[in-house]
A and B are shown apart, each in its own frame.
Chain A
Amino acid sequence: MDIAEHMLRTGSRGFRDDLARAVDDLSRSVKGLGLSWSLAWHDVVSRYRGSILGPFWITLSMAVMVLGIGFLYAELQNIPLATTLPFVALGIVFWGLISQTVIEGCESFVQAAGMLSQTSLPMLTFVWRTVLRNLAALLHHLVIVVAVVAGFGLWRTMDLPLALAGLALVLANVSWMCLLTAIISARFRDIPQIVMSVMQFSMFMTPVFWQPGERVGLMDAVLTWNPFFHMLDAIRAPLMGVAPEASTFSVLVVMALAGWAVAFGLFTATRRRIVHYL
């Protein structure tokens, strides 16, 4: 008999030991990323079972929103449609990725209560599940991105590698937010409501639809101190053929490191308890 699997669980032996366990959870969850993907894909399939368009329904409703808001804001802000429409389209698609991942992050552990309370599956598997599920949704919405990139000739000026680097940094950031909201929402059931309000508020404070004007006074403050502006701009600006702000990428790197340190610290401290919160 070949027995490779071995499990050792002990009472808490201090922070360092807990940290080692949390890291072990992380490495097991990364090795088992295939399971996260299976669960995520199953979520996508089962959510749209029986519908003809499936996840493309969201894509379609986004497209309608893009057209409506694109035309309206072109008129309101007096900017040519050829600039506004791609701006709004990319804004809505990538804002959707950011806000949905953070909002759905709240349910990551709560939804998995059954599995967490009777198997030794790594907890972070369920965080990756949420992130991958939203990435799968993004793949559908890429139809819109491809349409504007082709339709407005953005491919001539865009910087695709930089946009992909931006996407990678955004994913690094949304995943720690996802972990953080997952833990706190498991403990306090008010959090999902708060997260939803915060994300809705942020949508209006972030240039998703509206073009940022002169960077003076309040406008400058809103853009500089809004993490979501940097996240969105890191993907959108390179696709639009504009250089993102010099500080954007460093802000995202620092935010990812600091965010992961906080979220992982909290995970280390609460990991033993999370299953009891559920």
Chain B
Amino acid sequence: MSRSAKPPTAPPRPDQAFISVRGLTLRFPVYGYDAKSLKKHLARVAVGGRLDQARHGSTTVTAITGLDLELRAGDRLGLIGHNGSGKTTLLRALSGAYEPDEGQIEVRGKIAPLLDLSLGIDPTATGLENIRLRGRIAGLSARQVEEKLDEIAGFTGLGPFLAMPLKTYSAGMQARLAFAVATAVDADVLLMDEWIAVGDADFQKIAHQRLLGLVERAGILVLASHDLDLIRLYCNKVMRMDAGVGSEVVPVKALDELLARPSVR
């Protein structure tokens, strides 16, 4: 039934977020720690022969092969697949960190990668300093950070602790702070590697609300997860990845059918 469900092909309205990935192939050169040494590299030049690259530890891993993906505002895509199937790599490529080897990625809208909450967090700095720094990294101007400071500080519920260095915090408190800052940025495209759940039971509840609000405001969500219930809950579309190959995008109600396939292609 779902096989006929194709992504909308109408051109996106210019004022709306969209993601368009065509024929994306990503290869990682793996520079073995041996090959990273200059001596080996010079030795290779000195020998003068054309040696097989693989023999020197510089092998290439193809992480994503010929992936196509079209998403429009309102799409909430769940990415499923085994470990190493390329989900995180795809998210990083969508964030703009990885350049395609072939094909193209086009994203309109402000991208907020929530892939690693600890990004840009400095344990020796105080809570407030961390909020400012993380906000700047996320693309806020110094003034915008100051405007949002009270709201973020209030949300963490850490009160006077914000003036103390982060290393004095418990793991849960640190997570609260990181979460509050990471989710303070309004974005059109939200990228998440696993649903973020932090803090104690009370905090989890408000964090959940905040994340839902963020997803609601964002045009597009791409969520990679192994938790199928989560995907059923938050996503309206799914794509399965298998060894770097992506399936077509199907509505979430066809999830079971997608899983039942022996492989995606």
A-side residues, CB < 8 A to B, are 1-3, 5-12, 34-35, 38-39, 42, 45-46, 49, 114-121, 187-191, 194, 271-273, 275-277
Contact = CB atoms under 8 A, between A and B. Distances in A.
B38 interface: yes
A46 B122 contact: yes
Nearest to B21: A9
How many chain B residues sit at the interface, stated as a range, is: 35 or more
B214 to A, nearest CB: 15
Interface of B: 15-17, 25, 28-29, 31, 36-39, 41, 92-93, 95-111, 113, 115-116, 119-120, 122, 124-125, 129, 132-133, 136-137, 141-142, 165, 188, 219
A42 B109 CA distance: 29
B37 A5 contact: no
Contacts of A272: 99
A7 B39 contact: no
B137 A121 contact: yes
B105 A7 contact: yes
A33 B104 CA distance: 28
A104 to B, nearest CB: 17
Given A1-B17, A115-B120, A119-B113, 11 more contacts: A1-B219, A3-B16, A8-B107, A11-B25, A34-B136, A34-B142, A45-B125, A46-B122, A121-B137, A190-B37, A275-B98
Contact of A11 (B38, B103, B219): B103
Given A7-B111, A118-B116, A273-B29, A189 B36 contact: yes
Nearest to B116: A118
A3 B38 contact: no
Contacts of A46: 122, 124-125
A35 B136 contact: yes
B95 A190 contact: no
Contacts of A11: 25, 99-104
Given A115-B137, A119-B95, A187 B31 contact: yes
A272 to B, nearest CB: 4
A244 to B, nearest CB: 36
A1 B95 CA distance: 21
Contacts of B106: 6-9
Nearest to A125: B137
B15 A2 contact: yes
A12 B26 CA distance: 12
A119 B96 CA distance: 6
13 contacts: A5-B108, A5-B188, A8-B105, A8-B107, A39-B133, A39-B137, A116-B97, A120-B95, A120-B96, A187-B36, A188-B37, A273-B29, A276-B31
B103 A10 contact: yes
Contacts of B16: 1, 3
B188 A1 contact: yes
Given A3-B16, A34-B142, A35-B136, A118 B108 contact: no
Contacts of A45: 125, 129
Contacts of A188: 36-38, 41
Contacts of A277: 31
A265 B105 CA distance: 25
Nearest to B141: A34
